[in-house]
């Protein structure tokens, strides 16, 4: 009743953190009514996708979207469920772009580890999550690129045999030092217009992945 509850620690959780690219500029260009309508449509669809994949939305912060799997109920497939959600969200956005004048793009970051959860506040209390894992997922998002899914080494180790990845190497992360990162490789979410230095290697890696896609899908079906 007073908005207080004992916090709990969850050891095996995967965290999804996303942010809309150029949101500040787009929010200035759109009428407030249209902006809220668009965000509501996006986040409602995201909620449907993650619920289908047994994940839990924690909160939205402006244009940022935070969800988890592995808490409050333990789930041995927490990393796979989050990756499947991320892949489906990117597919949804790309499909939506083909029939909408408003072109939303997202960066997604994913990290796995220990998370603390609990209710905070008195009058407007909410269930929230805390810990280094949350901060690191946010850093993964910051170091991602538009319409790509950037994951940490800890998440990679949990799913490396069930997906294919582009190994990006080590990046300097604020408060963490050097961290190894990977892009999730899925032909349907390739950014064909990417002119970065990674683009050629990205194309080669996804070409290899197409030969292994069926096997990977069969493996993922075993985990729900």
- 49, 58, 63, 134: the catalytic one is 63
Is residue 44 packed enough to be buried (19+ CB in 10 Å), middle (13-18) or exposed (0-12)?
A: exposed
Q: Is the CB of residue 108 less than 8 Å from the CB of residue 148?
A: yes
Beta carbons of 96 and 44 less than 8 angstroms apart: no
Of the residues 20, 50, 89, 90, only one is catalytic, namely 20
Q: In Å, what is the CA distance from 71 to each residue of 61, 82, 83, 134, 192?
A: 20, 12, 16, 13, 36
Question: Which DSSP helix (H) or strand (E) runs through 92?
Answer: helix 78-97
- Catalytic residue check, 20: yes
If phi over 0 gives left and psi between -120 and 50 gives alpha, with beta otherwise, what is residue 132? alpha
Cite the active site residues: 19-20, 63
């Amino acid at each position: 009743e007073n908005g207080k509850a004992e916090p709990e620690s969850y050891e095996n959780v995967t965290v999804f953190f996303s942010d809309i690219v150029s949101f500040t500029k787009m929010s200035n260009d759109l009428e407030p009514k249209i902006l809220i309508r668009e965000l509501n449509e996006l986040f409602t669809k995201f909620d449907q996708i993650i619920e289908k994949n047994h994940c839990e939305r924690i909160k939205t912060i402006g244009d940022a979207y935070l969800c988890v799997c592995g808490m409050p109920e333990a789930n041995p497939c927490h990393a796979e469920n989050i990756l499947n959600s991320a892949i489906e969200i990117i597919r949804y956005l790309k499909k939506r772009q083909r029939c909408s004048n408003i072109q939303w793009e997202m960066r997604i970051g994913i990290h796995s580890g220990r998370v603390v959860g609990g209710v905070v506040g008195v009058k407007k209390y909410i269930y929230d999550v805390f810990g280094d894992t949350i901060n690191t997922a946010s850093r993964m998002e910051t170091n991602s690129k538009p319409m790509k899914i950037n994951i940490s080494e800890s998440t990679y180790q949990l799913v490396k045999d069930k997906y294919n990845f582009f190994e990006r190497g080590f990046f300097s992360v604020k408060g963490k030092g050097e961290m190894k990162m990977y892009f999730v490789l899925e032909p349907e979410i390739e950014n064909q217009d990417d002119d970065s230095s990674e683009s050629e290697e990205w194309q080669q890696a996804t070409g290899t992945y197409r030969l292994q896609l069926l096997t990977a899908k069969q493996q993922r079906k075993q985990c729900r």
